[in-house]
A and B are shown apart, each in its own frame.
Chain A
Amino acid sequence: MNLLTLTIFLPLVGTFALAIVPRENTQAIKFIALATSIITLVSSLLILTKYKFGHAGFQLVASHSWFKVFGVKYAVGIDGLALVLILLTTVLVPIVIVGGWNEAEGGRWSVKTFYMLILILETSLVAVFAATDVFLFYVIFEAMLVPVYFLIGGFGRGDRAAAALKFLLYSLFGGLLMLAAVIGIFIIGVHNGTLSFDVTTLSHMKISHNTQDWLFLGFFIAFAIKAPLFPFHTWLPDAAKSATPGTSILVLGVLDKVGTYGMIRFCLTLFPEATKTFAPYIIVLSVISIIYGAFLAIGQKDLNSLIAFTSISHFGFIVLGIFALTSQGITGATLYMVNHGFSTAALFLVGGWMIQRRKSTQVEDFGGLQRITPVMAWCFFIAGLSALALPGLSSFVSEILVLIGTFTRYPVAAVIGTLGIILAALYVLILVQRSLHGPLKAGNEDTPDLNWREKLAIAPVIAALVFFGFYPKPVIHLINPMTSSVMAQAGITDPTPMAGR
């Protein structure tokens, strides 16, 4: 069996294994889930041994006929973009399971249901990045909302049912717009004599400018809701407020990347003309996202929504990098997707532990933690620094690449975007000051520090943040061929630096 297909379906096998374990046996369930996610991680790392670095185009491809009448195939393959995101997924799932070992208890349903949903979500996430058939991508894109809906609604806190519904409605609405566009591009293919949903085949088609605009919007709005870009972001803070930390990590760290992934994979390559038409407007939206998300993050009192708003700001950077349409921009944005995944994971993990200990989500209830729980405080501090893109941590590399890539084409946007970094310093440092420093707040006296399980979960994340901060080359090396191939497909060239200025 194809190694990629194996990686996709391993978590699903684990789900079936979980299904036959009695629900009272929670320890066995957790260990089976963890074992499954680790085997999946190993399988995904084995992909690296077969992957030819430096090559553009899809590798490890597999293709089987699925829904013949419409030429739909189960077609998977990976390029650098897909590979880094698949690895991000398979690395984060075991971390989520270890880090949130007890978070499923006290949910509406059994622990068993929680881990089955997590593993189904992992299968969908790997599959959605691996799909090279637009129909297959769409099916998974929509179907994976269902496990997330139940994860938020069944295991979160607060008004979780409403948050889950809001998340699902937003996403499904975007999905339906995309469905119309998917059908549209397929029919254009049929009129050109190709009965196929293959993304490479479709990208070679000539589509009239006007049609491209409409189809582009269908795809883009769906991705912008998922990403989430201003003004489609309002579901995210609610979801983050209500979900468990593990769910939040998978939703903000990985699931939302499907949006930015889709922009590169589909918007840029299928509709190059429309991309150029809409790019300036999207740049404006992403700059608004950066600034608006940062300002709102400063004002948040709830720890989870604060992290959510920082993500909105960061997604603004990612979209800015993509639609600057330069090679540094796209490479930087892709790198940003990975780094933001780790940075968010660190924030939500430590934030989740703090909340669990304090039984409160309000930032003002913490304070002085540095003195009694030094390890936890340091971890949170480093996670915060990665969110403000401190040099030496991985986010810095991607942020600087995005800004350089943007500056050559949209200098004003790059300058305003840079303000986002200053605001980021503000919201992170205020958060750190309020929660970690100052006098010890009443109620925090007996807070225990991180135990060995929590240290085990956070260690690889912080290691990744630091390692890729100093040595981002392996990831960039993976991404670069994809960037140049996307640029070639979209027919864009980098502007000469400072030309005409």
Chain B
Amino acid sequence: MFTTPTLDYHLLAPILIVLGGALVGVLVEGFVSRAYRARVQFTLALITVAVALGWVISIRTKTSQIAAVDSVSIDGFGLFLQGTILALSFVALLFFAQNDHFAPQASALPGSEEESLAITSGVQMSEIYPLVLFAISGMLLFPVAKDLITLFVGLEVLSIPLYIITGLARRRRLLSQEASLKYFLLGAYSSAFFVFGSAFLYGFSGSLSLAAIGQAAGLSGTNHIFLYIGVIFISVGLLFKVGAAPFHSWTPDVYQGAPTPVTGFMAACTKVAAFGALYRIFIVSFTPIQSEWRPVLTAVAILTMVGGAIAVIAQRDVKRSLAYSSITHAGFLLVGVIAFSGIGLSATVFYLVVYGFATIGAFGVATLVQDSRGEVGDLNRWAGLAKKSPRVATAFTLFLMSFGGIPLTAGFIAKFSIFTAAYNSGDVALVVVGVLSSAIALFFYLRVVLLMFFKEPIDDTVTVAIPSFLVGSGIAICFVITLVLGVYPNLLYNLAQTMVG
């Protein structure tokens, strides 16, 4: 017997709009003449994301468990994260406007004749925009999925386009393609782990629905061994995506290799989507066995915070160091998950927003510091940046201070609320470790500030590009949000609490 599925298109519209935009983008690639293509694609992507964001805002009070039969849960938590992903994507897309970040032709081998031909004839890549839209649609699905199949579909739809666009850097293409391959291989493994875990959970509960798994886990007297194996494998898959230790090793390579605007985009948005899914699955399915997984996750969080903070000190490359810093932040976010409470939940989503904007802004600044061969990654060559462009150096300083959690930046409020949630749940050890690793990471952030402001420029070839209007406004948006949420957090925190709590 087959019943026609009921689909509430009104509530699913944000995902569908982005998917539709991506499909139109594919057509644009085929039919619009080369001269206009990139511009049309960019505008299309920006409008798509803006419309979807507007739609999410208009349905922000709706909740439905049966929007797509029984596999998508539209609720405050999901909608807040969808809105966050779309807002972050919108800002991240502004940095895509400079075309010289992307390889002229993805299929051309690095350093080949074909490639130089493509460069001289002015070939421009623009497939990247539909690919980004596909990734966004997967990210939108990921935190609202309520069964394992939908979750897996979301995971793959968001991952596969990212594997491709990681390899599209215009300069240092070998590094970029190596990063892409690494990301793809490790990502495939982690997906396999995820599927394998799903199978065990299905074997344990007889259902793929997260809620049914949660019910089965709550029954006493059953053999939980399959459940535990399932939880471990699923967690490995998700922790890989959020970049938590010891599954983080791809992060520095991929963040460094990918074109910088792409790095900003995926560092911010992937983390939001993955933490959304992680939180949902742990709450809905694994609440009954929290005494088992919380100690394990605590160990992971400590390893992630401390490991990331120590590793970041030794970094010399700006993108690699931001990658390690993002690992540390994944650790802090895990603390919010472990707190496992209403405060923890709203603290986590607030943290995601704050971290996302500061990250996109920081990578945006990284695109501006250039020499004749493109971006300058080596931090030592950033010395004296404040002399060359006080504004850019100030913006970067603010983002670093937000990462470090210095008061009057949004990062402080975020860190404070995460620690408060953890303290409230009795995880005092996590608070202490978190505070100490903040202190370690601060050493790095302050060294960069010192380098930019107090050191004489050692390298005159390094210049700060004058940002185009779009890039400038992208950095400005991130700057304002980081500052305003630090001074007056009510604006967002109240919304987060009412929607999520």
Contact = CB atoms under 8 A, between A and B. Distances in A.
A173 B404 CA distance: 12
Interface stretch (A164-172, A414-422, A423-431): A164-172
B490 A143 contact: no
Interface string B415-428: 01101100110001
Contact of B497 (A69, A140, A161): A69
Nearest to B343: A69
Nearest to B346: A69
Interface in A64-106: 66-70
Nearest to A186: B420
B453 A153 contact: yes
Contact of B416 (A146, A172, A179): A179
Given A69-B493, A169-B442, A183-B431, A143 B450 contact: no
A138 interface: yes
A231 B416 CA distance: 28
Interface string A245-285: 00000000000000000000000000000000000000000
A143 B407 contact: yes
Interface string B434-468: 01101100110011001001110000000000000
Contacts of B420: 70, 183, 186-187
Contacts of B20: none
B432 interface: yes
B431 A154 contact: no
B454 A180 contact: no
B155 interface: no
Interface string A155-193: 000001100110011001100110110011011001000
A contact residues, range: 20 to 34
Nearest to B447: A165
A67 B450 contact: no
B43 interface: no
A142 interface: yes
A169 B443 contact: yes
Contacts of B357: none
A139 B453 contact: no
A139 B408 contact: yes
A164 B435 contact: no
Contacts of A161: 450, 454-455
A309 B188 CA distance: 62
Given A67-B490, A146-B406, A169-B446, A179 B455 contact: no
B77 interface: no
Contact of A67 (B413, B447, B454): B413
Residue of B416, B431, B436, B494 contacting most chain A CB atoms (<10 Å): B416
B406 A180 contact: no
Given A169-B446, A179-B419, A187-B424, A164 B431 contact: no
Contacts of A179: 416, 419, 435
B489 interface: yes
A177 B438 CA distance: 11
Contacts of B346: 69
A108 interface: yes
Contacts of B488: 66
B194 interface: no
A138 B346 CA distance: 22
A184 B423 contact: yes
Mostly helix, strand, loop or mixed at chain A's interface?
A: helix
A380 interface: no
Given A69-B493, A179-B416, A183-B416, A108 B406 contact: no
Nearest to B432: A180
B124 to A, nearest CB: 42
A142 B424 contact: no
B412 interface: yes
Contacts of A186: 420
A230 interface: no
A140 B436 CA distance: 21
A186 B494 CA distance: 19
B82 to A, nearest CB: 22
A353 interface: no
Given A154-B454, A169-B446, A183-B419, A68 B490 contact: yes
A186 B436 CA distance: 20
B453 A180 contact: no
Contacts of B419: 179-180, 183
B446 A168 contact: yes
Contact of A143 (B406, B413, B431, B446): B406
Most chain B CB inside 10 Å of its own CB: which residue of A67, A165, A168: A67
Contacts of B423: 183-184, 187
Nearest to B489: A67
A317 interface: no
A348 interface: no
A173 B413 contact: no
20 contacts: A66-B488, A66-B490, A67-B490, A69-B490, A69-B497, A70-B416, A70-B417, A108-B454, A143-B407, A146-B401, A164-B450, A168-B446, A172-B439, A176-B435, A177-B435, A179-B416, A179-B419, A180-B432, A180-B435, A187-B423
The 10 closest A-B pairs by CB, nearest first: A161-B454, A139-B407, A142-B407, A143-B407, A176-B435, A143-B408, A187-B423, A153-B454, A180-B435, A183-B423
Given A165-B447, A172-B406, A180-B432, 16 more contacts: A67-B489, A69-B497, A70-B416, A138-B407, A143-B407, A146-B406, A150-B453, A153-B453, A153-B454, A160-B454, A164-B450, A176-B436, A176-B438, A176-B442, A186-B420, A187-B420
